[in-house]
């Protein structure tokens, strides 16, 4: 489409016409492949589409316009921190010196990148109150696995082989228990206390000689600071276990709480949440890990080192034999880390504290607006941090309209829905995270929309349950998609399926 016309697009494969495209690469000499035995060569050319550049560009520009994005509107997705992605960062990561650097180039040829990474290690250690940082993990979940594998290596280094369990509160991100399983541990799920916080007594009774680690998200996935975190950390350490902090909610505590100082042994942070690196439609992220003294020897390789002469280098193979090893290839997702570095330097200490202050103020303001109106239940009334849970349980009871419907109706108002049905502990919950980069006008407009939809649920429920009405597509048939998966284009598929509008 452009401004008018059909919005949905044919697939790349439907756009293909034989002999279109080309002109990018010189033709190779005829005998280019004469050194390759015939049985190693492919029989037919791969069935890739043949399209000329203008069609490819229109395809992707038109497809892009079917997406909601931070650059198009408010994205209050709880636990995801969809803040603005500064454009300077995109520019910086594309500087030829950064973008062209080969990860196996000799250290002396990549001093600029190594210096940046070394400085970033230090900045992140300061922000988290940790002793040392590894930039290697490719995402938060990989940071979690890194942390739990380090904890495993720590216990093993002490010949402590009985520890087989990881304790996780029931409000945790799904990645926490999944990580524990990947590291060979059994997950023990601990119910939350009535105020939404960790139930320290329940933890105490579950802690013991079998406990390897406790994984805590602080502030919790309900957006609440764990007031009893000090007691809990003491109990964890008394039991000989170590404490992992899921840093997904770091945006709420910059300059206010340093997990390392408080006694956490290890944490990951998500640069794509807290430090503004873009989410990319699902990735990439980066999940650096910070550790205290106990776990420093086990950090993955390689770290970036500054030698006495002021030059920078990667740790060499075998230099730190206690390391758990490598989590992925090369030093890390450097292109993402360049963006995070730019963000951190743009803010400095004061700016980072302001980020947190404004994010928390915005969340409390939005929560207050909904609480004052009263259409939605606010299960936890105390001050929240950067996000809060609202519930449509009352609306559902009164009108039959569910949280899912309200979320879909928000789309018609021009907003991305918040995270819904997470954490699993709140009935008809929605987790709202406004971030610090949304204006007061936007916050008010969003609150107005939610309230209007709540009224609409009473007066015209069908409009809400049928939403969205203005998006490129209506609600989807997810059941058929799962029952008869169609996961790739085949020439026949197009004929069986209805054409795009």
Q: In sequence order, which ranges of 133-228 are alpha helices (DSSP H)?
A: 140-157, 175-182, 200-206
272 binds other proteins per the rule CB under 8 A: yes
Among 207, 436, 449, 450, which residue sits at the site for other proteins (rule: CB under 8 A)? 436
Compute the least distance from the CB of residue 377 to other proteins, in Å. Answer: 19
Distance of CA 443 to the CA centre of its chain: 23
The reply to whether omega before 423 is within 30° of 0 (cis) is: yes
- Closer Cβ to other proteins, 205 or 480, answer by number: 480
Asked if 180 touches other proteins (CB under 8 A), the answer is yes
Nearer to other proteins, 234 or 238 (CB): 234
Q: Cα 500 to the chain's mean position, in Å? A: 32
Structure tokens at 205: 């009774």
Q: Contact with other proteins (CB under 8 A): which of 132, 167, 340, 344?
A: 344
Question: Is 321 among the residues that bind other proteins (CB under 8 A)?
Answer: no
Task: Return the residue of 167, 222, 291, 331 that touches other proteins, per CB under 8 A.
Answer: 331
Based on the shown chain and the rule CB under 8 A, indicate whether residue 234 belongs to the binding site for other proteins: no
Residue 130 in the binding site for other proteins (CB under 8 A): no
Angstrom distance (rounded) from CA 388 to CA 408:
19
Of the candidate residues 74, 83, 167, 212, the single one contacting other proteins (CB under 8 A): 83
User: Which range binds other proteins by CB under 8 A, 198-206, 342-350, 373-381, 453-461?
Assistant: 342-350
Name the β-bridge partners of 166. Answer: 187, 213
Interaction of residue 437 with other proteins, rule CB under 8 A: yes
- Tokens 């949440």, residue located: 273
Q: Which of 3/104 has CB closer to other proteins? A: 104
Residue closer to other proteins (CB basis): 452 or 499:
499
What length does the chain have? 501
Residue 436, SS3? coil
Residue of the chain from 78, 110, 200, 274 that contacts other proteins (CB under 8 A): 110
- Shortest reach from residue 135's CB to other proteins, in Å: 9
DSSP state of 303: P
Beta bridge partners of 43: none
Tokens of 346: 């743009």
CB nearer other proteins, residue 16 or residue 398: 16
The one-character DSSP state at 245 is E
Name the nearest CA neighbour of 275 among 410, 89, 116: 89
Residue 104 binds other proteins, judged by CB under 8 A: yes
Per-position b or e across 174-200, b if 16+ CB within 10 A of its CB: ebbbebbeebebebbebebeeebbbbb
Tokens 């350490």 — which residue?
237
Size of the site for other proteins (CB under 8 A): 211
Whether the CB-CB separation of 239 and 211 falls below 8 Å is answered with: yes
Residue from 390, 442, 451, 467 nearest 75 by CA:
442
Exactly one of 74, 78, 133, 144 binds other proteins (CB under 8 A); that residue is 144
13 part of the interface to other proteins, by CB under 8 A:
yes
Which region, judged by CB under 8 A, interacts with other proteins, from 236-244, 289-297, 410-418, 448-456? 410-418
Judged by CB under 8 A, does residue 3 bind other proteins?
Answer: no
Distances in Å between the Cα of 299 and the Cα atoms of 160, 291, 337, 452, 459 are 19, 8, 18, 51, 58
Strand-pair category, 289-291 with 304-306: unpaired
User: What is the nearest approach in angstroms of other proteins to the Cβ of residue 277?
Assistant: 9
Query: Which region among 198-206, 219-227, 391-399, 454-462 touches other proteins (by CB under 8 A)?
Result: 219-227
Shortest spacing between CB 475 and other proteins, in angstroms: 5
Least distance to other proteins from the beta carbon of 410, Å? 9
> Diameter of the chain by CA atoms?
77
Q: Based on the shown chain and the rule CB under 8 A, indicate whether residue 455 belongs to the binding site for other proteins.
A: no
């Amino acid at each position: 489409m452009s401004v008018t016309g059909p919005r949905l697009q044919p697939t790349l494969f439907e756009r293909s016409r034989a002999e279109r495209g080309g002109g990018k690469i010189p033709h190779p000499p005829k005998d280019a492949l004469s050194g390759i035995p015939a049985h190693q060569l492919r029989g037919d050319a791969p069935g890739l589409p043949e399209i000329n550049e203008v069609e490819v560009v229109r395809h992707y520009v038109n497809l892009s316009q079917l997406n909601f994005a931070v650059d198009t509107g408010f994205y209050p997705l709880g636990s995801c921190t969809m803040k603005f992605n500064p454009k300077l960062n995109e520019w910086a990561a594309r500087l030829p010196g950064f973008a062209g650097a080969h990860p196996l180039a000799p250290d002396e040829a990549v001093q600029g990148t190594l210096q940046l990474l070394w400085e970033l290690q230090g900045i992140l250690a300061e922000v988290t109150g940790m002793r040392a940082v590894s930039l290697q993990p490719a995402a938060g979940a990989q940071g979690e696995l890194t942390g739990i594998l380090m904890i495993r290596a720590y216990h093993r280094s002490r010949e402590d082989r009985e520890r087989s369990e990881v304790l996780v509160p029931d409000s945790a991100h799904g990645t926490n228990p999944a990580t524990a399983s990947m590291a060979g541990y059994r997950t023990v799920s601990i119910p939350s206390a009535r105020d939404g916080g960790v139930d320290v007594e329940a933890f105490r009774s579950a802690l013991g000689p079998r406990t390897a680690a406790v994984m805590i998200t602080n502030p919790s996935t309900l957006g609440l600071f764990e007031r009893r975190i000090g007691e809990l950390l003491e109990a964890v350490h008394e039991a000989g276990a170590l404490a992992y902090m899921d840093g997904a909610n770091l945006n709420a505590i910059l300059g206010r709480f340093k997990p390392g100082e408080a006694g956490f042994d290890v944490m990951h942070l998500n640069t794509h949440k807290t430090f503004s690196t873009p989410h990319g439609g699902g990735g990439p992220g980066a999940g650096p890990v910070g550790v205290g003294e106990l776990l420093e020897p086990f950090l993955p390789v390689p770290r970036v080192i500054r030698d006495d002469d002021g030059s920078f280098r990667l740790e060499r193979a075998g230099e730190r034999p206690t390391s758990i090893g490598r989590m992925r290839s090369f030093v890390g997702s450097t292109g993402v880390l360049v963006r995070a570095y730019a963000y951190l330097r743009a803010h400095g200490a004061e700016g980072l504290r302001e980020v947190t202050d404004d994010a928390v103020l915005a969340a409390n303001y939005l929560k207050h607006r909904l609480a004052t109106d009263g259409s939605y239940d606010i299960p936890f009334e105390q001050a929240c941090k950067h996000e809060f849970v609202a519930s449509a349980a009352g609306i559902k009871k009164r009108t039959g309209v569910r949280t899912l419907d309200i979320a879909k109706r928000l789309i018609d108002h021009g907003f991305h829905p918040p995270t819904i049905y997470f954490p699993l502990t709140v009935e008809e919950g929605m987790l709202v995270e406004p971030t610090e980069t949304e204006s007061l006008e936007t916050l008010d407009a969003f609150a107005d929309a939610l309230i209007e939809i709540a009224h609409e649920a009473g007066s015209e429920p069908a409009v809400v349950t049928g939403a969205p009405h203005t998006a490129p597509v209506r609600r989807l048939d997810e059941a058929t998609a799962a029952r008869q998966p169609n996961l790739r284009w085949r020439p026949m598929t197009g004929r069986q399926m209805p054409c795009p509008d």
